[in-house]
Structures are given as C-alpha cells and as structure tokens.
Structure 1
Amino acid sequence: MKKGTIILFIFILIKIILQYLVVNPIYELHRDEFLHLDQAKHLAWGYHSVPPVTSWISWLILQLGNSYFWVKFFPALFGALTILIVWKTIETLKGSLYACILAATALTFSALVRINILYQPNSLDILCWTLLFFTLIKFIHTQNYKWLYFMTISFAIGFLNKYNITFFLLGILPALLLSKQRNLFLKPQFYGAILFAALLISPNLIWQFQNDFPVFKHLKELNDTQLVHVERMDFVKEQIFFFLGSIFILLAAFVSFFIYKPFKQYQLLFWAYVFTIVIFIFLKAKAYYTIGLYPIFFAFGAIYLSELLQQGWKKYLRYVAIAIILLLFLPMLKVSLPLRTPEKYAEAAKLHRPFSEHKWEDGKIHPISQDFADMLGWKELASKTDSVYNTITDKKHVMILCDNYGQAGAINYYTKIKGLKADAFTADYVNWLDLTKEIKTVVRIKTVDNLSNTRDLSLFGGIKEVAKIESQFARERGTRIILLSDPKIDLAKLLRQERAAGRLE
C-alpha cells in the first residue's frame, strides 16, 4: 500500500473518531435529528422541509438498530468523504503529498467538525457541493464529456438531499459564461446532461407539484421566523470564522487562479464562488449555507503553498502552516463544540468572554448555543410522557399531541413503551396522523409560548397539568404535559375535517 493511501486512511479514521469525541455525553440528539429519523417510517419522494434522501439514510439507520452510534456515523462519514474528494482533487491536479496532508489537516480541524456532529442534510450537502466541483475540475482537466454526466448525478443527489445546492447552478452558470468553457453552451452534451439531471430529480418535482409545492411554504416560514433576523454583515464575518485557522490556504487558492499558470484554466471556480456568495448575501441566507463552497479551494491553496514552500528556509514554514491550523482549532473546541457542560458555557457568558454569547433564530442573545439547547431535555420529556401514558387505562384511544416536531420525534425516539406514538400539527407530522379511531384522551405537550392559546383545552371537560420540563438549559424548558379527558366533541372527526381543509397548523 502506498504511503499516501495509508496517510489518507489515517485522516479518515481520525475524522470519524473525532466526531464522537467532541460531544459531551450530557447532550442528547438534536431537535432536527428526531424529525429526520421519524421520516424513515414514512418514506416518500418529498417532505415539508427537505427532499427524500435523508429519509432513505434514516431508513438504513433504522435497519441498523436506530442507535446513537449510527445516527452520528453518517454525518461523520460524509465529512470523511469530503476530505477524500479534496485529496483526490489534489492528486488530479498533480499536487504533492504535503499538499494533500495540508488540505486534509485544514478540513479535519475546521468548522466541518461542528457541522458533522449533527444528523442533518448539511453534511451530505457539503459533500455534494465538493463532488460537483471535483467533477467540473475533471471535465476541465480531461475535456471528457462523461464528467458532465457525473456532475449531473452529483447535483441530483445533492438536490434530492437539500435544495440549497440549486444555488451552485446560479453561481456556476454566469461563471461559465465568463470563462473559456463558455463553448459548452453550444454543445449538445451539455443539454443532454441537463435533461439527465431533470430526469433524476423529477420524482421530487412531481411530488412537489402534487402537494402544492410545500418547499415554497417552508421558505416563507424560514424567511418570516429565522432569516428576518439575519444581518448581512454577520453573514460576511462568519465566512471568515468557518476556516479561521486555515484561511491563509483559501487566500492562496484565490490568488493562485490569477498568478499561478497551471490554475488559470480553473479561474471560473473563483467566479462561481463570488457569484454564489453575492446571491446568498442578497437573499440574507444563513451563513452556514455557503460552507459547501469552500472545501474544494483547499486543494488549490494547498498545492500553491506547497510550491511556494519547497526550497530553502521556506520548507520549515510547511510545518508552521500545519501548527497554525492545529493551534487555532483549540479555541474552537472550547467555544463552538459541545465539549463542555451547559453550566460552563453559561458561566463564560456571564463573564462576557469572547464568543460566549449566542444569537438564536429569535434574534435574541442567549448564554449557550441554540444547537446545544436543542440537544437537552428530550429524555426528560419522553420519560415523563411515558409515565403519564402508563396512568391511562384506555390506551387504544389516546392521542399524544405535541406543539413541534422536536417534541414528537424525541418522544418517538426515546420512549420505552412499545407502540407509543406522538403526533404534532407541524411539519410532516400532520400528514402522518392516524385519525381512524376515536380519541378519548389527549396527552398534550405544550410549550411555554403556546400556553396562552387555550382553544384546544376548551374542547375537554377534564384538564390536568401533570408534568413540566425542568432541564435548565433546554430550549424546551417549561414545556407542560397536560392530560386532557372527557372530550366535548368527536375529536377525530374534527381533525379529519380540519386536515382536509388545510387548517391543521
């Protein structure tokens, strides 16, 4: 086995193991992970918030036992494969082993660690962006049109995983027009590849059409509740912090497209980056939507730096470059990764230490990261719901109704009671409701923000608050568990009517 192959294998192993080590055992699964895991039980060509690929992976996780290990394995694997693609890009560009090691180090010890701890579409999204760039580079390098079809396959997988990759097209098309590759627009193979991509993603497009395009409704919800709080300057600043320890490699990459002769033919990648960033800024997108743009540029930057630092005293700077990456990764461990307990982060916030205060989607500042708060309190919720459920005699006519998908998914994941199922009127759960049986008792999970809304409570003769989520730093802190009995009307019939009318929200 070649030396480079052994080193690559070591990086992949380090990457996967690292993803398990950077999460303190006090944290549970994340709110979004529960939704994705529940989708495995309801396979379809699309969902309210995401395309279908995540559900397919969730189905595989379910077959493997649905354990914490497998939930966390796949984002770690996608992160490792991103490193593999960048490594292979460097080999394609005839870069040195040092360039491979430098790029792999930069990616292993970067913001990707934070992204790859969560089972969300983001990890595969970044991999697909990187794979798209790789196939484009292979096409430019070989002028073999088969790589256009590999590009379409990469795009289709990415599109069926997360619609975010569509912005790659919006950025790359004007970049192509500015490059020598513009003659592609005159080639039938180019349009054949586009038709092939359309064919691959068509099942999801048909599903969207049949369901009145829920993706647009989801985008509106994002804009109204989350993106409205995004500041464009914050977006720009966060681009710097994603790869702060290795930003010099990215800068070297951008410079190399203009002054390093072997890379001038790949200049369109730089313009694709510029156009895509501008689009994201204009749309006030979340900063992390752009992360898929960056990994491929580490290949170019690492090669260019390895050429600059190969003779005389400059050879020693090769070691300095790797040391800088590792040293600047250490603060990230303390600040942005869930290594410490919530109490430690809250203590740092009280002392106003740098980067210790966090802006959530509500636009307010909180003592711990929203992601970390979304990883607390779920086991408590499931345990208390189980206890309430066990007190009910007639279990055949019970409905467990939650305010959000995190609550429903967490109960479904952590429950110890076989057959227990929680529902919600949000996201995809509204389509998964079983309304064929009479509902006599409702275990109502109600967030603090929704306590003033008593319409649902007015439908019952018996109302009893039986439990509350106490976890101090959980986003669900204060959530009530209310036992509702003696319904005044036929609830199943009412819900069937409201669902048919599209009023279950």
Structure 2
Amino acid sequence: MRKTYWLLFIFLLIKIVLQFLVVNPVYELHRDEFLHLDQAKHLAWGFHSVPPFISWVSWIILQLGNGFFWIRFFPALFGALTILVVWKTIENLRGGIYAYVLAGTALLLSVLLRINILYQPNAFDILAWTLIYFCVIRYVQTERNKWLYFLAFCFAVGFLNKYNIVFCLAGLLPAILLSKHRKVFFNKHLYFAIVLALVLISPNLLWQYQNDFPVVRHMKELADTQLVHIQRSSFVKEQFFYFIGSIFILIAAFISFFKYGAFKPFRFLFIAFALTIAVFLTLKAKPYYAIGLYPIFFAFGSVYLSHILSSGWKYYLRYALFVPLLFFGYALIKTSLPIFTPAQYVERAQQKEPFSEHTWEDGKKHPISQDFADMLGWKELTHKVDSVYSQIPNKKRIFILCDNYGQAGAINYYTQQKGLVANAFNTDYDKWLNLDQKIETVIRIKTINNVDFTRDRSLFQNVDVLTRLKTPLAREKGAQIILLSGPKVDIAALLRKERAEGKLN
C-alpha cells in the first residue's frame, strides 16, 4: 500500500509539472482567464457567464498575489485530483499496480492535458463529474447513505462551477431507474440529499431569479453564435480524438460491464454514458462538454485489462498497450498544445501538416487554434493603453472602454498604471461600471470589425485613432486604440441613463 501511494504521488507530481511544460513562454493568459480573475474583485452568487465557484478560486489567487504560477496551478491541481479519484476507484475495484499505472498514464496523455492548461471552469467540471460517478460507485458497493450526501455535495459544488453538471444527472438518474438499483429511489436519505443539494445551490438560483435568469440569455447567445456552427458528426468524431491513444481502455470498460462478473452491478453506467451522449447530440452541444464522462471508465477498463491479461502469452500484451498511449500522447502534445510559436504554426499550415488547420467558432479555418490566438497580443494592447493613459494629466476623468471582456480583463491584469481600470458594456463588466466620476476623456479600444465612429463623433469633438494592435495571429490583431476628447454632453450621466434603461451596448 505504501508503494502504491508513492506511485500515486509521482503521477500527481508529473501531472502538475507537465501542465507548466507544455505551454510555450511566448503565450500569455487566455481571454477567459482575464474575466475570471476580474470576477474575484466583484464577488457575487453568480455572473452572466458562469456560476460563482471560479470567482472564489480567483479570490484565493488574488490573495496569493495574482501571479501566473497560481493561475496555471489550480487547473493543473484539478486535473491531478481527477487522476486521484480514478486511482481511488481502482483501489475500490480491487485493481493492482498495473491498473493504476495504465489508467494514470492514459489520463496523463489525454485531452485533459489540453483542458488543464487553461484557468476555466472546465477543469473543475471534469473533476466534479468524476466525483459524482465515484460516489455512485461507492454507494452501489456499500449501500451506505453517506455516499448519497457526498454525491449531493459534489453535485452542488459542480453546479456552482458550471451548469453543465446537470447533464451528468440527466444520464445517471434514468440509468439507475432502469437498473436493479432503482430501490435507491425508495431511500429517504436520497431525498434528504436532494434537499441538501438544493440548499447549497439556492443562493445561485436566487441570484439567477433576481437577475432575470442571465443563464438563459447566455445559452441563447451560445446557440445563436457558436452552437449553430456545430455538426453532430463533428461531436462524435471529437469524442474519439479526445482519448484516441487510450480508447481501447474505454472499450474494455464497456465490455467489462457485460463480460466480467464483478462489474455487472455497474452495467447501468454504460446506459448512463449512452443517455448522456444522446442528450448532448440532441442539443448540438460542444464536443468538450462530454469530457467529464470518460475518466471514471478508465478505472473499469484498466482493472478489466489487468484481469484478462494476467497469464500466458497475453501477459506480455500488458506492456504493448503502453505503445499507443505514448505514441498518441506525443502526437497530442505536438498537435494540440501550444508548444510551438505562432510563426511555427503558420509554417506547419503552409506545409499542410496533419491537424495544422483549426476551425474557430466562426466556422472558418485558421493556421492556429482559437484558444492559442486568444493567448496573444494582450501585453501589447496593455502597453499601448498604459502609454496613452500616462500622458493624460487628469486621470480621475478618464474612462477606458473596450469592445469585449478579453480586452478589459487583459488591461486590468497587465497594466502597470496605478488606478487604471478598463471597462466594457458586455458580459459581466456592464454590472461593474463606476459612473460616479465626470468623464472628460475616453480611451476607446475597438475590434477590427468595429469601424463605426458615428456615435463617437456625435458625443465628442475629437476622435483620434492613435495606434493598432500588431501581434501576428492574435485574435485581436488590428484592434484600434482611439482617444475621444472634448465631450459635447455629460458622458457619465448619459451612460447612467442608458444603463438604467438597459441600452448600454
């Protein structure tokens, strides 16, 4: 047992260190990360874009100095904890050293490597799914009611992190109802656990109600701007690529529910998997929404493979199974992680190397992943805004207005100017505006697609385009920095009025 825990420690350490090593230093933070970091300064029970959990983690990061290390550490930690939960599942399934190493290696060299480089709710979402499945497995094994309460707690925290966790139960509950374990629905502790979960998530539900359910608006925005470009065939194809090097372990897991006597009580998990995938396909969900489904099945697959490859000539196949894990793991790092510079990605695309084309949310092909493009240009933007800001004498009368949360969050994170605060009229920033001071000068940042100056000229005497963002392949490349001065009206009063009328845009 001591050797097992030392082995676990090594895997967890490798996981955390690896997450730092697979990102080329040329890349900055991602636009979403800036938003989540700014949420720590405006704690609430909910936000337009996400539930509150990530803002709590951001607050911890803020107390630790808001440094790059901690921003990268927490998603890596959540990935390591996912491996830990799978490890404990193998332990409870009576697996041995081989099963631990096989599952641990598979999870290390999987899509989780990509997910866990970014400070987003996705890393904890996958951990929450895995924890829920773990609690269900432990309840089936022991029928101890404490696991129902642990499940309720894991669901509640997962819900407060990302509403996607609802789809986990959407697959699990019908599957349990169709199995012999349906007797749990006659257990009063299940309903006490449900009450516990509702109590824990109620502050967020109340916040949603008080703010006219922004999650509904957010889902409509996603459906209109992103999900409309998603094809169901692409969703299915992506599922295979996520764990392409270790897919044989998942297949072994599904077979084990029907062939391995010790796992037959868990057959309903296969039904839960199928139902959840069906729900995602019906809703045309983004492919990565389903990633949380998979980690727990690596426990079953690895234990089953260690059982059927335990004697005779098949025993030597144990070692051969690591070949595809290492081969496709290397391919994953090379093709799906930001280890190359932007210029190298362009070169790879020109040479038409495999996986050198990337489809963005706009449905168009690009030589670099959208996530990587979202990690470029922010320092240049902030440096130029800082330069303009430093030359304006009366800084109390400056208002910095951006077109999106990425611009605003990046400026707020990287700025070297004391007192500088960037704003936006969308996402969560529209709730954080400070319009109590008189506004004499506006530093305006506009995306390359926003070339309409009609409103600016109607409100200001002077509209001067000072510079543009030039970082190659940055998604914000071409963004303009504009100085608006000589207001014709009371800008702060106008914005307060428009905010009250819901007309800010």
With the length of structure 2 as denominator, give the TM-score of the two structures: 0.99
Partner amino acid, structure 1, of 2:315: K
Partner of 1:151: 151
Partner of 2:295: 295
Residue correspondence of structure 1 range 178-217 to structure 2 within 5 A: 178-217=178-217
Partner of 1:360: 360
Residue correspondence of structure 1 range 401-420 to structure 2 within 5 A: 401-420=401-420
Distance 1:212 1:355, change over 3 A: same
Partner of 1:112: 112
* Structure 1 residue 456 displacement after superposition: 3.3
Q: Deviations over 1:205-252 (max 9, x none)?
A: 000000000000000111111111001100000000000000000000
Partner amino acid, structure 2, of 1:283: L
* Structure 1 residue 376 displacement after superposition: 0.1
Partner amino acid, structure 1, of 2:135: T
SS in 2 for 1:470: coil
* Structure 1 residue 254 displacement after superposition: 0.5
Partner amino acid, structure 1, of 2:165: I
Partner of 1:172: 172
Counterparts of 1:440 and 1:236 in 2: how far apart (Å)?
54
Residue correspondence of structure 1 range 386-465 to structure 2 within 5 A: 386-452=386-452, 454-465=454-465
The answer to whether the 8 Å contact 2:254/2:270 transfers is yes
Counterparts of 2:396 and 2:49 in 1: how far apart (Å)?
31
Give unmatched runs, 5+ long, in structure 2: none
Partner of 1:482: 482
Partner of 1:248: 248
Partner amino acid, structure 2, of 1:346: V
* Structure 1 residue 457 displacement after superposition: 3.9
Partner of 1:93: 93
The answer to whether the 8 Å contact 2:403/2:424 transfers is yes
Partner of 1:265: 265
* Structure 1 residue 451 displacement after superposition: 1.4
Stretch deviating more after TM superposition (181-190 or 355-364): 181-190
Partner amino acid, structure 1, of 2:136: L
Counterparts of 1:479 and 1:187 in 2: how far apart (Å)?
59
Counterparts of 2:298 and 2:135 in 1: how far apart (Å)?
16
Partner amino acid, structure 1, of 2:40: A
Partner of 1:51: 51
Partner of 1:77: 77
Residue correspondence of structure 1 range 317-332 to structure 2 within 5 A: 317-332=317-332
Stretch deviating more after TM superposition (494-503 or 292-301): 494-503
* Structure 1 residue 59 displacement after superposition: 0.3
* Structure 1 residue 193 displacement after superposition: 1.1
Q: Deviations over 1:310-355 (max 9, x none)?
A: 1122121111112220111111111100000111111111222211
Partner of 2:312: 312
The answer to whether the 8 Å contact 2:397/2:437 transfers is yes
* Structure 1 residue 458 displacement after superposition: 2.6
Partner amino acid, structure 2, of 1:106: A
Counterparts of 2:457 and 2:416 in 1: how far apart (Å)?
27
Counterparts of 2:4 and 2:227 in 1: how far apart (Å)?
43
The answer to whether the 8 Å contact 2:445/2:482 transfers is yes
SS in 2 for 1:481: strand
Counterparts of 1:364 and 1:323 in 2: how far apart (Å)?
35
Say whether residues 1:373 and 2:361 are aligned partners.
no
Partner of 1:337: 337
SS in 2 for 1:456: helix
Partner of 1:42: 42
Partner amino acid, structure 1, of 2:2: K
Counterparts of 1:254 and 1:176 in 2: how far apart (Å)?
16
Say whether residues 1:10 and 2:5 are aligned partners.
no
* Structure 1 residue 172 displacement after superposition: 1.0
Counterparts of 2:324 and 2:80 in 1: how far apart (Å)?
22
Partner amino acid, structure 1, of 2:376: L
Counterparts of 1:180 and 1:132 in 2: how far apart (Å)?
19
Counterparts of 2:317 and 2:288 in 1: how far apart (Å)?
31
SS in 1 for 2:250: helix
- Number of aligned positions between the proteins: 505
Counterparts of 1:502 and 1:144 in 2: how far apart (Å)?
51
Partner amino acid, structure 1, of 2:342: P
Counterparts of 2:315 and 2:382 in 1: how far apart (Å)?
57
Partner of 1:135: 135
Counterparts of 1:457 and 1:42 in 2: how far apart (Å)?
33
The answer to whether the 8 Å contact 2:456/2:463 transfers is no
Partner amino acid, structure 1, of 2:381: L
Distance 1:251 1:457, change over 3 A: farther
Counterparts of 1:453 and 1:3 in 2: how far apart (Å)?
67
SS in 2 for 1:401: strand
Partner of 1:23: 23
SS in 2 for 1:332: helix
Q: Deviations over 1:38-96 (max 9, x none)?
A: 00000000000100000000000000010100000000000000000000000011111
SS in 1 for 2:161: coil
SS in 1 for 2:486: strand
Partner amino acid, structure 2, of 1:216: V
Q: Deviations over 1:379-431 (max 9, x none)?
A: 00000000010111111100000000000000000001111100000111000
Q: Deviations over 1:232-283 (max 9, x none)?
A: 1000000000000000000000111111111010111111111110000111
SS in 1 for 2:455: coil
* Structure 1 residue 490 displacement after superposition: 0.8
* Structure 1 residue 174 displacement after superposition: 1.1
Give the fraction of aligned pairs with identical amino acids, expressed as a percent: 63
SS in 1 for 2:304: helix
Partner of 1:66: 66
The answer to whether the 8 Å contact 2:456/2:484 transfers is no
The answer to whether the 8 Å contact 2:75/2:120 transfers is yes
Counterparts of 1:429 and 1:335 in 2: how far apart (Å)?
35
The answer to whether the 8 Å contact 2:27/2:372 transfers is yes
* Structure 1 residue 453 displacement after superposition: 5.5
SS in 1 for 2:454: coil
Q: Deviations over 1:106-163 (max 9, x none)?
A: 0011110000000000000000000000000000000011100000000001000000
Partner amino acid, structure 2, of 1:127: L
